[in-house]
Amino acid sequence: MNILQVLMAVSVPLLWGLGFTFSKAALGEFPPLMLMGLRFCLTALILVWFVPFPRGEMVRVVQIALIGSVLQYGLTFTGLSYLDASTAILLVQLEVPFGVLMAWAAFREEVGWIRILGIAVAFFGVALIAGSPSVDGKWFAVALVISGAFVWAVAQVMVKTLKRTKGFGLIAWLAVIAGPLMLIGSFLIEEGQFEALDSATWVGWGTVVYLAVAMTAIGYGVFYKLLAQFPVSMVMPYLLLLPVVGVVGSILILGETLSSRVALGGGVVVAGVAMIELLGRRQRRVNALKRTGDA
């Protein structure tokens, strides 16, 4: 990667991490499902004109939207509304170990002892976070965020079954389906929507625009561009900056304080994810080369 491409790679966790921080601020003005519904509706309006219709795969796309967008974001951001953003973004990192476990269960993908160790380390870090006084009495919110991470992993398995609908096309059509459904869900199980629309400030509306434009359209656009140019093993390590950006942003922008136990647990989680992403991928390449040599 040249310097411009490195900056592009760094911009992805920066945009995504700050999106979590800004979302926490906006949840003081919009209910969780409403905020996500507005985000996806705006995302759909921006992207849907530039992508083809998912012919032959629309039913599967609808299923992914229900599970990977409506359910996953509903769980994660409802949990976020009760937790510090810095704590929630560390819990969200369980998406990686859950993803490895789901890929093994669904496709029998090789895991390897390094990845197994990384998964154990990540879950130990979550146990440290859950034992912090700052999350005492908020077990349900913690469970919601962890459940959201698991549902995300399930959705990624479903995404792998798609043959033609990828990248921007998938994001656009997921937004087309999920946006209206999340708004409907908001009016069914949440309250205060009209008051929120009437009283929302630039913080709330600015966050909606940021989530739709910067975090989704630009962030995913850069991410998929890099994946098209470089190996996954070269791009994914930059995402380890995501929890760092989210935690630092929450402290500087929201004024949150990070307890020593949450900081320790977060460090352990990130270390476990790093073992999965970096050492685990290296082990798989070595094993693949050995099998090739044996053949």
Q: How far apart are CA 271 and CA 28, in angstroms?
A: 32
- Looking from the CA of 224 toward its CB, the CA atoms found within 13 Å total 12
Q: What are the tokens at 280?
A: 């685990």
Q: Is 258 left (phi over 0), alpha (psi -120 to 50) or beta?
A: beta
* Mean pLDDT, rounded, for 126-150: 85
Give the integer Cα–Cα distance in Å for 167 and 56. 17
Express each pLDDT in 246-267 by its tens digit.
Answer: 888 888 998 888 788 888 888 8
pLDDT at 283: 57
pLDDT at 46: 92
Q: Where are the domains of the chain?
A: 3-294
Segment 130-147 shows an average pLDDT of 84
Q: How confident is the model over 205-243, as pLDDT tens digits?
A: 999 999 999 998 888 888 778 877 776 667 767 778 888
Give me 21's structure tokens.
Answer: 């921080």
Distance, CA of 173 to CA of 181 (rounded, Å): 13
> Distance between CA atoms of 240 and 16, rounded to whole angstroms?
11
pLDDT over 70 for what percent of the chain? 93
- CA nearest neighbour of 84 among 24, 30, 18, 17: 24
Cα–Cα–Cα angle for 107, 113, 115, rounded to 5 degrees? 65
User: What is the predicted pLDDT for the residue at 289?
Assistant: 47
- When pLDDT is cut at 50, 70 and 90, the band that residue 143 belongs to is very high
The mean pLDDT value for 143-161 works out to 90
Q: What pTM did the predictor assign?
A: 0.86
